[in-house]
Each structure stands twice: as structure tokens, then as C-alpha cells.
A and B are shown apart, each in its own frame.
Chain A
């Protein structure tokens, strides 16, 4: 009995030690193609997963994926359930108050899609009196408030997927989001049937410019530095361009 207890204690200790040796990446469990999504068997796939694999190989570390809801990412990081937020989180000043970010690993270009009617352009002129669907508290929402709030009206959605649904059924006139998910939606049957790409909005670096980075706990500088070095190395070696080709017809950096 005593031996059994000792064996158990050693096993537990080893498990605990093992748990510390890996880096836990928090990924949203809501689908956000092409960056993160799940295949039919529930395995995480996507551009950000490929980047994560490349970065982990560079770090020579074992990485595990932890599914977290979008609103739970920062609390999960702070309560040490995960070590890195790796989920298309834009680097904003508001978020920097709570967590630190690595260097950006991709730039989120913001654009709009709308019904297939041939009317192109996304300036205040085209948007006049229109309704624009935007996912709650994204950088696009902040951009909209600054540039379009006085000519068009905003409709908030919990996820960008729901706004696609409403765009297809004619309840809203535009969806304003990152180009990645927008172009991915336009590849689906629903998207091909109803909608077209209307264009990117005018850049506004103060709101959209900081890009997307990995989130780490405040003061976790060692991990942040290592991730930065790894991202740089993956980018320099050409691996970044290699797997990006599978998803985009442009350089997402």
C-alpha cells in the first residue's frame, strides 16, 4: 500500500512536471476560417494552427491546444489555464492594459461584402443610410464608430457567422470584418449565391494598424521574447510564405 502511494505520488509528480514542459495555446472554439476552424473529426485546422506548429517546431517545444470561448480567452490566460492567446486577437491599447502581445504575426485588412448588385466601393457615399453588420467589439466596430457612424447604422452580432446569415437573407446591406473570413464566406455556396466583395476600407492605423499578435500574461517576458524570435525565424525561412499560400492569394503579414 505504501509503495502504491509512493508510485502514485511519483506518477502525479511526473504528470505535473510534464504539464509545465509544454506551452498551452488558447484557440477560440468558435469557427473563424481560414485562421482557425475544426475539421469533421474535431481536430483544429487553419492558417493559425499551421503557424503555431511552425513556431513550436522552431521553439523545440511541445505545444497543446486548449479550446476557449472568445470572451474567455483573456480570463483563461490570467488564470493560467493557457499560456498564449493564439486566436486572431488584434493588438489594441485596451487589451494591452490587461495582457502583453508578441510582435504581430499577421495584418488584418478590413473590408466589406454586400449583395451582388455591381455597386462597388465602401466609402461614406456608398454606405449612406445602409445597415452594416459587425461582430461585437471588433476593431471594425471601433472603426465604424469613428468613420461611418453618422451616415450608416451598425448592427451588432455575437459572431461574424450570424451576420453572414442575415446578409444573405437581406436583413443587412453589408458585413464589415477582416478580409480573411469574408473571402472564406464568399467561397461557400451561400456566399457565392448572394454576395460579392465590395472593397477594403481606407486604412486608419490608429484603429486597424497594429495587426494581430499572440497574447501572453503581463510580465511573461521570457515566453514573449522566445515567441517573437520564433515568429521572425519562421518568417525569414520562407516557411510562413509556404503555408500561407494554401489559404491566401496575398501575403497576410
Chain B
């Protein structure tokens, strides 16, 4: 075991770890917001919205994340330069980066899974509570905001933790679109130093540590919100 390379590659590693965390944070946050809309559409009465949401979730849960990422980066991304004016616009520095497409693919994917979970959780909220809210005269929007969604999120909380961990473990594929995340850093170190196990071992420790942190944080959150079962 030779770990003498850590010092000379520390910037690369720190930057990689930062990018991994950034991608996780972006995709979980934005994905969750999108998932709320997907879930509401699925339990709502509008058939158009219901089918659209169902189709979205089926498509993104039914195709490999790697293919989604490449469809976006190599497919869509290759045609973007031909959109008139886009290459000179202020958006181009963002659109030419793999990071944008990586965050987009991870977000869309996370939303699909999370939307399905949230839909189930919303259906698991006892009808009596919703009827009680209606009985005291709350509007549909208010019920959703005050009763239905908060209750559903509480019910789904244990599953969310697992989803976030799965999302973390999905991030290394972003290296395939030139994002130098933590795995990318390990890959480069492995290529440079010809050491195979040590860099992988280091990033493994990081992923395990981060997973431990995520599950602990969710545990705290679960304990903080009282639920009667």
C-alpha cells in the first residue's frame, strides 16, 4: 500500500469531492421539487396531467441513467451549437460544460423515482385527516399545502434516505461526460501513478463516509418530526 500520492493530488481530490457533493445537492433539491409536481399530477383529477406524469416516470425509471446522460450530452448537446445565436449567448459557457448535462440527467432521473415514492406516500395519508380538513372549510390548495404534502413527506422520509444514498452512488457516471468528480479524480490518479487499489480504496472510504453522514442526518430528521403510527 502506497499512499504517498495523496499530498500531490489533494487539490484534485478536494475538487472532485466537492463536485460529487454539488451534483448530489443539485439533483436531490431540484429533483425533489419536480417530484412534488409529478406526484400531485398523478394523484390529481386531471387525466392529461396524470398520464403525462405517469409517462415521464415510466420513461426515466425504465431506461438506464447512463443512456439518459449520453442522450442529453452527446445527442442533444451536439445539436445545441447549431441553434442560431446560442454559441455567442451568455448561456453557452454553461451549456458547453458536461456538468450542466450531468446535473440535468441526475435531476430528471431522481425526480422520476422520487415522484413515484411521493405518490405512494400521498395515497397513504389517512382519508379521515383530509376529510377533517375539508370539514373545517380548508380549500383544496390549503389542504395540499398544510396537511396532505407534509404528512406524505413524513411518511416517505425513511424511503427518501435510501433514495439519496442511491443517488450518491449513481454520480460516478458523470465522469463519462468529462466531469472530474471524485471518481474521475481517482481514475486520473490511477492512470498517472499506475496504482490501482489505493485511489479506489480512498474514494470508497469517502462514499461510505458520506453515506453514513446522509443516513445519520435523515435519522435525526426522522426523530425530529413526531409521527404517530
Q: Which of B29-85 contact A (CB under 8 A)?
A: 74, 77-78, 80-81
Q: Say if the beta carbon of B175 comes within 8 Å of chain A.
A: yes
CA distance A98 to B195 in the complex (A): 10
User: Is the Cβ of A71 less than 8 Å from the Cβ of B191?
Assistant: yes
Query: In the complex, which residues of chain A have a beta carbon less than 8 angstroms from the beta carbon of B169?
Result: none
Say how far B41's CB is from chain A's closest CB, in angstroms. 34
Binding site for A on B (CB under 8 A): 74, 77-78, 80-81, 87, 96-98, 175-176, 178, 180, 184, 187-188, 190-194, 196
Say how far A171's CB is from chain B's closest CB, in angstroms. 5
| Chain A contact residue count (CB 8 A cutoff) | 19
Query: In the complex, which residues of chain A have a beta carbon less than 8 angstroms from the beta carbon of B190?
Result: 71
Say how far A20's CB is from chain B's closest CB, in angstroms. 27
Q: Of A98, A136, A166, A170, which is within 8 A of B191 by CB?
A: A136
User: Is the Cβ of B81 less than 8 Å from the Cβ of A98?
Assistant: no
Q: Given that A169-B78, A171-B77 are known contacts, is A157 also in contact with B178, CB under 8 Å in the complex? A: yes
CA distance A12 to B7 in the complex (A): 50
Q: Of B96, B97, B188, which is within 8 A of A156 by CB?
A: B188
Q: Is the interface of B mostly helix, strand, loop or mixed?
A: helix
Q: Say if the beta carbon of A147 comes within 8 Å of chain B.
A: no
Q: Given that A170-B96, A171-B96 are known contacts, is A94 also in contact with B196, CB under 8 Å in the complex? A: no
CA distance A18 to B78 in the complex (A): 51
CA distance A156 to B176 in the complex (A): 10
User: Is the Cβ of A98 less than 8 Å from the Cβ of B176?
Assistant: no
User: Is the Cβ of B194 less than 8 Å from the Cβ of A165?
Assistant: no
Q: Of B87, B97, B187, B192, which is within 8 A of A158 by CB?
A: B187
Instruction: Tally inter-chain residue pairs, CB-CB below 8 A.
Output: 41
Q: Say if the beta carbon of A232 comes within 8 Å of chain B.
A: no
Query: In the complex, which residues of chain B have a beta carbon less than 8 angstroms from the beta carbon of A71?
Result: 190-191, 196
Q: Given that A158-B175, A169-B77, A170-B81 are known contacts, is A94 also in contact with B194, CB under 8 Å in the complex? A: yes
- What are the interface flags for A171-183 relative to B under an 8 Å C-beta threshold, 1 for contact and 0 otherwise? 1000000000000
User: Is the Cβ of B178 less than 8 Å from the Cβ of A94?
Assistant: no
Query: In the complex, which residues of chain A have a beta carbon less than 8 angstroms from the beta carbon of B87?
Result: 170
Q: Say if the beta carbon of A155 comes within 8 Å of chain B.
A: yes
Q: Say if the beta carbon of A188 comes within 8 Å of chain B.
A: no
Say how far B89's CB is from chain A's closest CB, in angstroms. 13
CA distance A137 to B193 in the complex (A): 9
Q: Say if the beta carbon of A195 comes within 8 Å of chain B.
A: no
Say how far B10's CB is from chain A's closest CB, in angstroms. 16
Q: Which residue of B lies closest to A135 (CB)?
A: B191
CA distance A194 to B103 in the complex (A): 28
CA distance A95 to B193 in the complex (A): 8
Q: Which residue of B lies closest to A172 (CB)?
A: B96
Q: List 15 A-B contacts (CB under 8 A).
A: A71-B190, A71-B196, A94-B193, A94-B194, A98-B194, A136-B187, A137-B188, A137-B191, A155-B178, A156-B188, A165-B78, A168-B78, A169-B77, A170-B81, A170-B96
CA distance A155 to B188 in the complex (A): 12
- What are the interface flags for A85-102 relative to B under an 8 Å C-beta threshold, 1 for contact and 0 otherwise? 000000000110010000
Query: In the complex, which residues of chain B have a beta carbon less than 8 angstroms from the beta carbon of A95?
Result: 194
Q: Say if the beta carbon of A75 comes within 8 Å of chain B.
A: yes
CA distance A162 to B180 in the complex (A): 15
User: Is the Cβ of B81 less than 8 Å from the Cβ of A94?
Assistant: no
CA distance A162 to B176 in the complex (A): 9
Query: In the complex, which residues of chain B have a beta carbon less than 8 angstroms from the beta carbon of A166?
Result: 178
CA distance A226 to B159 in the complex (A): 63
CA distance A157 to B188 in the complex (A): 10
Q: Say if the beta carbon of A74 comes within 8 Å of chain B.
A: yes
User: Is the Cβ of A169 less than 8 Å from the Cβ of B178?
Assistant: no
CA distance A165 to B81 in the complex (A): 13
Q: Which residue of A lies closest to B86 (CB)?
A: A170
Say how far B96's CB is from chain A's closest CB, in angstroms. 5
Q: Which residue of A lies closest to B87 (CB)?
A: A170
- What are the interface flags for A149-162 relative to B under an 8 Å C-beta threshold, 1 for contact and 0 otherwise? 00000011110001
Q: Of A98, A137, A162, A170, which is within 8 A of B192 by CB?
A: A137
Query: Lowest 8 CB-CB distances: which A-B pairs, in order?
Result: A137-B191, A170-B81, A169-B78, A137-B192, A171-B96, A136-B191, A136-B188, A155-B178
Q: Which of A74, A98, A158 has the most CB of B within 10 A?
A: A158
CA distance A55 to B80 in the complex (A): 48
Say how far A132's CB is from chain B's closest CB, in angstroms. 12
